[in-house]
Amino acid sequence: MDPKLLLLAVYWYFWPDSTRASSLSHRIGNLTNISQVHEISNGFYADTGPFKRILSKYYYIEAKRKVNWFMAVHKCRELGAHLISLRNAQEFDELIRALNIRNCYWTDLTDLAEQSKYRSMTTGLAASYLRWGSLEPNNLGKNEHCVQLIAYDKRRFIMNDNQCTRRCYFICETKLPSQTNIVIQQPNL
């Protein structure tokens, strides 16, 4: 079905007559109660499914199943995304507001290829941004090569190197989800 017709059908089904005269921006706002709807460029909106927009990028935050780092890499690729690749303090600070302070989450950083040289699996480059916890990275047992977000004191997230076979939740990141399933153009009102 034409995506525009599908959206129109959803709109007429869910909204009563009294609200149908409201602006399109208001209707789009209501749609966020059903799924993740975001303006992806001027006048264009997208239903981004399980991906949540934070600043300029989209994130899928796994909250049900813990996996090892390797499986986290695979799972993000399945979703057409990649493990989170934090670029700066602003991205870090905004993202952690959406996380459960009791959980750990895998990032795309690892020094598996070269000890103590933390590289992004996404870009292949040296880490853009690091916020290590106190005394980290410590490569405990000389077997910690994958970087997780974790809150030791249950108050603030930091980065820690841990064993790649340990299980954590994970965060996938993309500039625009490939599973976007509704895109409409705002008409001239």
Which residues sit at the interface with Ca ion, rule CB under 5 A? 138, 144, 160-161
Nearest approach, Cβ of residue 139 and Ca ion (Å): 7
Identity of the residue, 56 or 116, whose beta carbon is nearer to Ca ion in the bound complex: 116
The answer to whether 60 and 172 have CB atoms below 8 angstroms apart is: yes
Query: Closest approach of Cβ 134 to Ca ion, in Å?
Result: 11
How far is residue 40 from each of residues 50, 80, 110, 184, 186, measured CA to CA in Å? 15, 17, 31, 10, 12
Shortest distance, CB of residue 146 to Ca ion, whole angstroms?
10
Report the distance separating Cα 129 and Cα 19, nearest Å: 46
Tell me the C-alpha distance between 176 and 157, whole Å: 26
| DSSP SS3 for 29 | helix
Q: Which is nearer to Ca ion, 8 or 140 (by Cβ)? A: 140
Residue number closest to Ca ion, CB atom: 161
Instruction: Enter the tokens of residue 117.
Output: 């040289």
CB of 140 to Ca ion, least distance (A): 5
Least spacing, CB of residue 76 vs Ca ion, in Å: 22
Tell me the closest approach of the beta carbon of residue 128 to Ca ion, in angstroms. Answer: 20
On the CB side of 3, CA atoms within 13 Å amount to 10
| Closer of 48 and 160 to Ca ion (Cβ) | 160
**Cβ proximity of 4 and 43 under 8 Å:** no
Q: Closer to Ca ion at the Cβ: 79 or 159? A: 159
**What would the two tokens of residue 99 be?**
């996380």
Q: Please count the residues of the chain.
A: 189
Nearer to Ca ion, 30 or 139 (CB): 139
Task: Collect all residues with Cβ–Cβ distance below 8 Å to 77 and sequence separation of at least 6.
Answer: none
**Cβ closest to Ca ion, residue 102 vs residue 142:** 142
